[in-house]
Amino acid sequence: MSIMLIDNAGATPAAMACENSDTGADTAFRLAIRSWIEENLPSDWRGRSFGATDESLSEQRRKFGALLGRAGWLTANWPTSVGGLGASAARRIAVLEELVAAGAPEPMNSNSLGIFAPTLIKYGTPDQHRKFLPDMVTHNAIWCQGFSEPEAGSDLAAISTRGEIVGDQLVITGQKIWTSYAHLADFCYILVRTERSEKRHSGLTLAILPMHQDAVDVRPLRNIAGTDEFCEVFLDGATTPMTNIVGEPGNGWSMAMYALSQERSVGLAQRSLKLRAEFTALAEIAGRELTEGNLRDNDPILTGGMVDAYVRSLVTTSMVRRAIDLDAAGKDIGTVAAMAKVFWSESHQEQMGLAAHILGSDFVSGNGVGSDWYRASVFTRAETIYGGTTQIQRNVLARSLGLPKGK
């Protein structure tokens, strides 16, 4: 049974569903995406990807996500059994490339679609697929992720939020933090501890929690960029039906690891594409500033920085594609993904430092394009923290190399 909704407006992926390795077919698929974007993306919605975390864009992101979802572009690589087209991960990346190139707003559910949806497809039941996936795709329901806690960030096994099975309900008590867009969410995919065990990775359960109930208290947190994307969530006996548990109770760790592996492949791909798009935009700004005499062409910070940023964008793309290829082949991507995460996050911070140099006082004054770059820049400070800190990722790399543990 298909649960994907298809629009009649413009080209849709259904017309390009024939999957093969022919370059002509891949080109046709990409041209269909580009044509659809031209027909469906309002001109005043373009070029705001730098401010994607700004809450003022949330409704815009929801509406455009709904358009993409109804057209089928968000689910092209999903199995046909859940309404997708069974296309390759490469074609999913092609969709992301065209969206980033057009400066399209990022769909509100991009996190859940990229991380939780593949997990639900793999471990969930057909009833759960029918109940939750369609509204996730069409953005009729907004989702958030409930993993991190005050004492469980990079050390996810330290989760202490409790889930008690009472009859046919799972009763949840505890606190989550850094929960993006929880104040806008209808559902949360949440990791809780349902059993006490000497092995910290045991006894965790992944569940789907309805957010609109009195026992869920969401408090937005103002971040350094001046937006309220992050939230803390207090749970005081929040309930969800046992039918909303994904997989078996107590086996949530493996599902959480699978979900995070999705973040480190396709999720990181989207960020690497933005890195490249930002470099292109920055090069255009630098050219204009040079023409107007605001920059010197013999400025070593400018010339050296642009070359370094260009090379870093190419290397990041190469690393991410390697991770995606390994993941598609069913191989472990831990080492490559860790390397890509470290390199991408540090490269993005370096690139934003270059943006500050090129834009000068406009970078912090809030004038024109500078305000978007400034917001993006301060938010990059979090990129070496979320999704696994740089220190944790370097530990992963050290273990893979067989290096001795530090004292």
Active site residues per annotation? 263
CA–CA distance, 350 with 130 (Å, rounded to integer): 44
- Kindly give the residue spans of alpha helices, DSSP state H, lying in 72-203: 89-101, 110-111, 117-123, 126-138
CA–CA distance, 112 with 92 (Å, rounded to integer): 15
Alpha-carbon Rg for the chain in angstroms = 22
Contacts of 30 (CB under 8 A, 6+ apart): 94, 97, 98
What is the distance, to the nearest Å, from the Cα of residue 19 to the centroid of all Cα atoms in its chain? Answer: 25
Helix (H, G, I), strand (E, B) or coil at 251: strand
Residue 384 tokens read as 């070496």
Residue of 3, 5, 325, 265 whose CA lies nearest to 118: 265
Q: Are strands 204-210 and 187-193 parallel, antiparallel or unpaired?
A: antiparallel
Instruction: Name the packing angle between helices 58-71 and 23-40 (round to 10°).
Output: 130
